[in-house]
């Protein structure tokens, strides 16, 4: 199998195997973690009988392999859950029920995912523009004051934690200047304009830090390309600096930028916890931290799988873009 179809097929199989491995690891980790899950789920004031009942309801007494088997079954064919009084059906890609409040994990994720995706992809656009732009500028003005200034700023950017930038932005923009309202998530489908205005600060604070990394990467790989022989060729043919920087040197930086971007987008879907928490965005990262705290196994497994899925997909997309950017790369 070769060509693009083969690539997609191989990647698809690889993704499934990776996700299965992740889910097994999460199950095992939770199984060996100390603590009485039923007690935590039921609450501190539950009587031993109630705790026992909860444990039975959640099938906590089943052996590990059986619980994992039920989990797989749920994903493939769906599952019926008894909530004590009634039976709830959870249809095909069923990731189970939350131990807390009996919510279906699939529904929970579908509710949180748009928030995280809005945050990450909006921020991505910003960090690419800011980061690559700064990088190109530093490479162009190399050895001059502009470059040193930009290098200093990006170094500071890399070193600053997101909650510092986010807090400062919020205090200045929303508090002092009152240019924007304090961010509150509005769905894109409800009101696109409000969606953008409310997300502007979260985007900025996440993007500023990422942009610093991209600026450094862009600058470094452009300087590397500028030292190569083919740049000398174009100089020797009278090609101007603008074209050399914009056409030839920047092109050499595409591949590493694509690779880093895929990595960052993939991990930010579940990893932008600090930004989500700071701005009160009900995204995946925040929910995951909460679920881990209350040992809500189905939610954790579901979230981790979704995050893993995005990381794998982001990298597959990066590989495709890589091959488009550099024709010497063969997809395999």
Partner 1 sequence: MSSVEASVDGPVDVLVEVTDLTVGFGSLRAVDGLSFRLQKGAALGLVGESGSGKSTVASALLGLHRGTGADVGGSVRVAGIDVQEASEADLGRLRGGKAAMVFQDPLSSLDPYYAIGDQIAEVYRVHARVSRRAARARAVDVLDRVGIPDAARRSRSRPHEFSGGMRQRALIAMALACEPELLIADEPTTALDVTVQAQILDLLHTLREETGLGLLLVTHDVGVAAESVDEILVMRNGRAVEHGPVGTVLGAPTEPYTRDLLGAVPRVDARRARSEGSARPLSAASSETSSEASAAPEVVLEATGLRREFGRGKPAFVAVDDVSLTVHRGETLGIVGESGSGKTTLGRMLVGLLKPTAGEIKPGGGVRPDVQMVFQDPVSSLNPRRSVGESIADPLRARGERDEGRIRGRVRELLERVGLEGAHYDRYPHEFSGGQRQRVGIARALAADPRVIVCDEPVSALDVTTQAQVVALLGELQRELGLALVFVAHDLAVVRQVSDRVAVMRRGRIVEQGPADEVYDSPQDPYTKQLLAAVPALDPEVAAQRRAVRRELATA
| Minimal distance, residue 318 CB to partner 1, in Å | 17
Distance CA 303, CA 113 (A): 10
Rounded (to 5) percent helix, strand, coil in the chain: 75, 5, 25
Strands (E), 27-177: 79-82, 87-90
Between residues 75 and 139, which has the closer beta carbon with respect to partner 1?
Answer: 139
| Minimal distance, residue 326 CB to partner 1, in Å | 7
| Minimal distance, residue 197 CB to partner 1, in Å | 39
Contact present, 57 and 46 (Cβ < 8 Å):
no
Q: How far is CA 309 from CA 30, 91, 204, 216, 267, in A?
A: 20, 20, 26, 28, 10
Distance CA 165, CA 305 (A): 30
Distance CA 284, CA 205 (A): 18
**Which positions lie near partner 1, rule CB under 8 A?**
228-230, 232-240, 243, 247-248, 251-252, 254, 325-328
| Minimal distance, residue 9 CB to partner 1, in Å | 19
Between residues 3 and 63, which has the closer beta carbon with respect to partner 1?
Answer: 3
Between residues 45 and 328, which has the closer beta carbon with respect to partner 1?
Answer: 328
Between residues 84 and 238, which has the closer beta carbon with respect to partner 1?
Answer: 238
| Minimal distance, residue 263 CB to partner 1, in Å | 22
Q: How far is CA 267 from CA 50, 138, 272, in A?
A: 39, 27, 8
Between residues 173 and 250, which has the closer beta carbon with respect to partner 1?
Answer: 250
Between residues 225 and 286, which has the closer beta carbon with respect to partner 1?
Answer: 225
Between residues 88 and 326, which has the closer beta carbon with respect to partner 1?
Answer: 326
Alpha-helical (H) ranges within 141-283 are 145-159, 162-169, 192-226, 229-236, 241-243, 250-271, 273-278
Query: Is residue 139 packed enough to be buried (19+ CB in 10 Å), middle (13-18) or exposed (0-12)?
Result: buried
Distance CA 140, CA 150 (A): 12
| Minimal distance, residue 251 CB to partner 1, in Å | 5
| Minimal distance, residue 254 CB to partner 1, in Å | 8
């Amino acid at each position: 199998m070769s060509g693009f179809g083969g690539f997609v097929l191989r990647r698809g199989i690889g993704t499934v195997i990776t996700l299965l491995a992740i889910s097994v690891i999460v199950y095992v980790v939770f199984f060996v973690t100390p603590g009485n899950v039923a007690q935590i789920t039921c609450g501190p004031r539950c009587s031993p009988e109630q705790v026992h009942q909860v444990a039975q309801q959640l099938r906590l007494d089943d052996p590990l392999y059986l619980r994992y088997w039920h989990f797989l079954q749920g994903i493939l064919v769906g599952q019926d859950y008894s909530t004590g009084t009634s039976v709830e059906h959870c249809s095909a890609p069923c990731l189970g029920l939350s131990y807390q409040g009996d919510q279906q994990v699939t529904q929970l994720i579908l509710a949180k995912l748009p928030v995280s995706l809005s945050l990450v992809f909006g921020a991505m656009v910003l960090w690419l523009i800011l980061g690559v732009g700064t990088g190109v500028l530093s490479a162009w003005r190399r050895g001059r004051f502009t470059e040193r200034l930009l290098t200093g700023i990006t170094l500071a950017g890399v070193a600053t934690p997101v909650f510092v930038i986010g807090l400062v932005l919020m205090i200045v923009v929303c508090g002092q200047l009152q240019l924007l309202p304090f961010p509150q998530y509005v769905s894109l489908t409800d009101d696109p304009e409000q969606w953008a205005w409310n997300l502007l600060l979260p985007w900025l604070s996440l993007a500023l830090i990422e942009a610093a990394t991209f600026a450094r990467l862009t600058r470094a790989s452009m300087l590397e390309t500028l030292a190569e022989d083919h740049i000398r060729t174009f100089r020797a043919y009278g090609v101007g600096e603008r074209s050399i920087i914009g056409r030839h040197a920047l092109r050499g930086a595409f591949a590493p930028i694509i690779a880093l971007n895929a990595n960052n987008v993939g991990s930010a879907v579940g990893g932008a916890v600090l930004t989500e928490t700071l701005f009160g965005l009900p995204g995946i990262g925040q929910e995951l931290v909460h679920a881990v705290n209350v040992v809500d196994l189905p939610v954790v497994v579901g979230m981790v799988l979704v995050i893993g899925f995005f990381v794998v997909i982001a990298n597959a997309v990066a590989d495709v873009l890589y091959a488009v950017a550099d024709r010497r790369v063969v997809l395999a």
